[in-house]
């Protein structure tokens, strides 16, 4: 059951993490096992290279953005286990009346919003939208065409006329998408 | 004074090592170990159950963290997906699938776990596969200590002795065979000598190997197998004679390479030559087309994988032509983890770990021969062979390249997903320029 590392995580830490994120102790131990196996330098923390060493993530068009989400909170460009689990907690499936402040629908939406909103100004500007579009299509679509797609998207979502997409407008635009389902990972007990 | 007892000991050891297999000594040893492990597992379940707070049912031990049933990114192979071209209007929610699959990959991906030792679900009394189990109960501790003493004080010296004698014998025999002129007798002698030497050496690891479907045993052509460790060569060579292919190594392995080359036509490459695919293919083809030569043994993955999966087969072998004999090798991890993690352990420390494990137990399946069909490409043929081997050995069949152990994935694979998304996207001005995509 697990390997050497699972006993290096203290009981108290596990309890704290369980309170904060809602993960079960068994899940936390397995996530810790994964964390240490990614930590090639045995530093107790992960760098961007550690993440991008995962081939499946390296070929994901949004790979860099996803990795960036982990580093938003850290000051020294390293992610420790608490931060690691806190980010993953956003993707816990929602069970009725077991929501906590990390995996509620609004939190999932906010996570997706932050994928676009790089400068953290609570607005998605046209440049930010273009940046993500560019990551997803590569060199296959010309800049003019991308521009028109971006403009149309903003036009449809922008209700207060400021040419940018605020968080509320973002949530409204995603009203019909099954965000809970799409932003949930099936964690096993 | 000491000499006669020493000689007696030596002779006993040599006789035991060479006969050990036929007397079934090693098999009995392995059966006994299994009983001990079972005891340990039950004991552990009792003791650990006391410490664990989980009231969940631990009946089915699993190391899986998540279950994935949606989009999983892989190197795409077929690019002609003509459905839904240019009909999808971009939405802000289009990125959600990529985000989720990226997160899933961070928690559990198919590839990175293949390059480190497989996690065991119960303990086998080796400290290298535990989480400090030996301190949980007195009885287990005693077992572990006894096991430790047995392995390091009894088995290890014996095994080192057998290894040394074995190397000497092999070098001497191959030298002798090499002195003979080319003839049928030389070939037969080479086979006898080779099998005997490898069999002897396998005593140094307490190798217990079960060979299945020996009616398919390769007599010529190319034999391909999944690769876990250099011991794969030992396992296969105990039962049949092969000409080997590989890069010229220095150090410990070079002794074997040079000795073997005296007696038979093995193909060893310098590193620089190995990069020249045509030169390699030419030498292979020459060898395969000569009816007097032995079957060639090749590991198309190109690197050691941890025996839970089979990774991409390099197509070079499958372009040469001739008959391919697939072989599946599966090690039983309970007795000692055979995987060689070359980035973590040097060859010598790896051998040391192998010689202080309980035993190496494995199964070998000889699969029916396969040839490339007229309408098949080499890559498809390679995948067909790979699928067969994976199915027989109970291994996961992966599309990924074993080279990812050391290098980053190709940019083309990310570009393929960008292309696919672009194709689905609805854009105005259909006749504006679209850059040509370069493919591999």
List, for residues B184-225, the tens digit of each pLDDT value: 888 888 888 888 888 888 888 888 888 999 999 988 889 999
Q: What is the pLDDT of residue B226?
A: 93
Mean pLDDT of B26-39: 80
Tokens at A28, concatenated:
């936390």
Q: What is the pLDDT of residue B389?
A: 93
Q: H/E element holding A96? A: none
Mean pLDDT of B350-359: 86
Put simply, whether A10 touches B (Cβ < 8 Å) is no
Q: What is the pLDDT of residue B76?
A: 67
pLDDT tens digits, residue range B84-119?
677 788 888 888 889 999 999 999 888 888 887 776
pLDDT tens digits, residue range B229-274?
989 999 999 999 999 888 887 777 788 888 888 888 888 887 776 6
Residue A75, min C-alpha distance to chain B (Å) = 21
Query: Under DSSP, is residue B243 helix (H, G, I), strand (E, B) or coil?
Result: strand
Mapped to the 3 state alphabet, what secondary structure does B373-438 carry? CCCCCHHHHHHHHHHHHHHHHCCEECCCCHHHHCCCCCHHHHHHHHHHHHHHECCCCCCCCCCCCC
- Report the distance separating Cα B14 and Cα A116, nearest Å: 71
Q: Is the Cβ pair A186, B68 closer than 8 Å?
A: yes
Give me the helices (H) in A39-186, please.
48-52, 55-58, 63-71, 81-89, 105-116, 126-137, 143-157, 167-173, 179-182
B327 phi, psi to nearest 5 deg: -135, 135
Chain B window 36-65: which residues touch A at a Cβ cutoff of 8 Å? 48, 53-54, 56, 58, 61-65
Distances in Å between the Cα of A134 and the Cα atoms of A61, A148, B421, B429 are 9, 13, 11, 18
Which residues of chain B are within 8 Å of residue A174 when distances are taken between CB atoms? Answer: 92-93
Chain A window 68-127: which residues touch B at a Cβ cutoff of 8 Å? 88, 91, 111-112, 115-116
Put simply, whether B417 touches A (Cβ < 8 Å) is yes
Residue A113, min C-alpha distance to chain B (Å) = 9
Q: What is the pLDDT of residue B1?
A: 60
Between B222 and B78, residue with greater pLDDT: B222
CB B312 within 8 A of CB B400: yes
Which residues of chain A are within 8 Å of residue B94 when distances are taken between CB atoms? Answer: 136
Query: Under DSSP, is residue A166 helix (H, G, I), strand (E, B) or coil?
Result: strand
Q: What is the pLDDT of residue B387?
A: 93
Between B7 and A46, residue with greater pLDDT: A46
Cα B247 off chain centre by: 17
CB B166 within 8 A of CB B201: yes
Mean pLDDT of B326-350: 85
Residue A72, min C-alpha distance to chain B (Å) = 16
Which residues of chain B are within 8 Å of residue A188 when distances are taken between CB atoms? Answer: 62, 64-67
Tokens at A61, concatenated:
């068009």
Q: Is the pLDDT of residue B275 over 80?
A: no
Q: What is the pLDDT of residue B52?
A: 43
Q: Is the Cβ pair B63, A148 closer than 8 Å?
A: no
Q: Roughly what angle, to the nearest 10 degrees, separates helices B96-107 and A63-71?
A: 70
Q: Is the pLDDT of residue B436 over 50?
A: no
Bridge partners of residue A146, in order along the sequence: none
Mean pLDDT of A122-131: 90
What is the largest distance, in Å, between two alpha-carbon atoms of chain A? 57
What was the ipTM of the complex prediction?
0.90
Q: What is the distance between the terminal CA atoms of chain B, rounded to a whole angstrom?
A: 72
Give me the helices (H) in B112-153, please.
138-149
**Sign (positive/negative) of CA torsion B23, B26, B30, B32?**
positive
Between B126 and B247, residue with greater pLDDT: B247
pLDDT tens digits, residue range A97-116?
666 677 788 888 888 898 88
Q: Residue B82 — left, alpha, or beta (φ > 0 → left; ψ -120 to 50 → alpha)?
A: alpha
Neighbours of A25 (CB within 10 A): 17
Q: Is the pLDDT of residue A4 over 60?
A: no
Tokens at A74, concatenated:
């850290």
Burial of A28 (0-12, 13-18, 19+ CB in 10 A): buried
The rounded percent of chain B whose pLDDT value lies above 70 is 82
Q: Is the pLDDT of residue B173 over 90?
A: no
Q: Is the pLDDT of residue B60 over 60?
A: no
Neighbour order of strands in the sheet with B267-269:
B207-212, B360-366, B324-331, B222-225, B296-298, B243-247, B267-269
Residue B158, min C-alpha distance to chain A (Å) = 30
Q: What is the pLDDT of residue B61?
A: 43
């Amino acid at each position: 059951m697990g390997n050497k590392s699972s006993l290096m995580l203290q009981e108290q830490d596990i309890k704290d993490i369980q309170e904060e994120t809602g993960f079960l102790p068994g899940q936390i131990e397995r996530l810790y096992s994964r964390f240490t196996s990614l930590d090639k330098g045995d530093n107790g923390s992960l760098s961007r290279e550690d993440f991008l060493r995962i081939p499946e993530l390296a070929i994901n068009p949004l790979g860099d953005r996803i990795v960036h989400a982990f580093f938003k909170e850290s000051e020294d460009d390293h992610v420790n286990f608490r931060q690691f689990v806190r980010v993953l907690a956003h993707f816990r499936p929602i069970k009725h009346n077991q929501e906590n402040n990390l995996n509620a629908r609004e939190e999932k939406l906010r996570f997706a919003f932050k994928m676009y909103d790089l400068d953290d100004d609570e607005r998605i500007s046209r440049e930010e939208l273009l940046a993500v579009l560019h990551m997803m299509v590569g060199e296959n679509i010309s800049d003019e065409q991308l521009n028109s797609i971006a403009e149309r998207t903003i036009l449809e979502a922008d209700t207060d006329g400021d040419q940018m997409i605020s968080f509320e407008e973002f949530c409204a635009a995603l009203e019909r998408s099954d965000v809970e389902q799409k932003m949930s990972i099936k964690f096993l007990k | 004074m000491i000499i006669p007892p020493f000689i007696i000991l030596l002779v006993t050891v040599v006789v035991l090592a060479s006969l050990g297999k036929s007397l079934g000594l090693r098999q009995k040893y392995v059966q006994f170990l299994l009983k001990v492990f079972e005891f340990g597992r039950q004991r552990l379940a009792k003791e650990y159950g006391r410490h664990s707070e989980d009231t969940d049912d631990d009946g089915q031990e699993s190391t899986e963290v998540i279950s994935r049933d949606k989009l999983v990114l892989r190197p795409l192979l077929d690019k002609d997906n003509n459905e839904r071209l240019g009909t999808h209007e971009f939405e802000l929610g289009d990125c959600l699938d990529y985000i989720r699959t990226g997160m899933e990959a961070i928690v559990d991906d198919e590839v990175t776990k293949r390059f480190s030792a497989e996690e065991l679900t119960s303990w086998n009394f080796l400290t290298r596969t535990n989480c400090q189990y030996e301190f949980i109960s007195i009885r287990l501790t005693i077992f572990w200590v006894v096991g430790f003493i047995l392995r390091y004080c009894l088995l290890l010296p014996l095994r080192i002795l057998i290894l040394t004698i074995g190397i000497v014998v092999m070098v001497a025999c191959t030298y002798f065979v090499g002195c003979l002129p080319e003839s049928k007798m030389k070939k037969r002698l080479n086979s006898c000598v080779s099998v005997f030497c490898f069999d002897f050496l396998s005593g140094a690891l307490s190798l217990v190997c079960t060979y299945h479907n020996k009616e398919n045993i390769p007599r010529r052509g190319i034999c391909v197998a999944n690769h876990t460790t250099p011991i794969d060569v030992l396992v296969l060579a105990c039962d049949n004679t092969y000409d080997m292919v590989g890069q010229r190594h220095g150090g410990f392995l070079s002794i074997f390479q040079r000795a073997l080359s005296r007696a038979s036509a093995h193909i060893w490459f310098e590193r620089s030559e190995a990069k020249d695919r045509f030169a390699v293919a030419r030498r292979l083809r020459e060898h395969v087309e000569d009816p007097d030569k032995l079957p060639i043994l090749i590991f198309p993955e190109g690197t050691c994988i941890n025996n839970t999966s089979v990774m991409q087969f390099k197509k070079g072998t499958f372009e040469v032509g001739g008959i391919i004999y697939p072989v599946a090798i599966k090690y039983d991890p309970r007795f000692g983890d055979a995987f060689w993690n070359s980035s973590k352990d040097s060859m010598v420390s790896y051998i040391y770990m192998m010689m202080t494990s309980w035993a190496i137990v494995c199964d070998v399946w000889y699969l029916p021969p396969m040839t490339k069909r007229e309408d098949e490409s080499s890559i498809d043929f390679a995948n067909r062979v790979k699928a067969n081997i994976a199915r027989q050995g109970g291994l996961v069949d992966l599309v990924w390249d074993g080279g990812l152990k050391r290098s980053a994935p190709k940019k083309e694979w990310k570009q393929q997903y960008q292309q696919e998304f672009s194709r689905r996207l609805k854009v105005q001005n259909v006749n504006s320029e679209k850059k040509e995509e370069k493919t591999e």
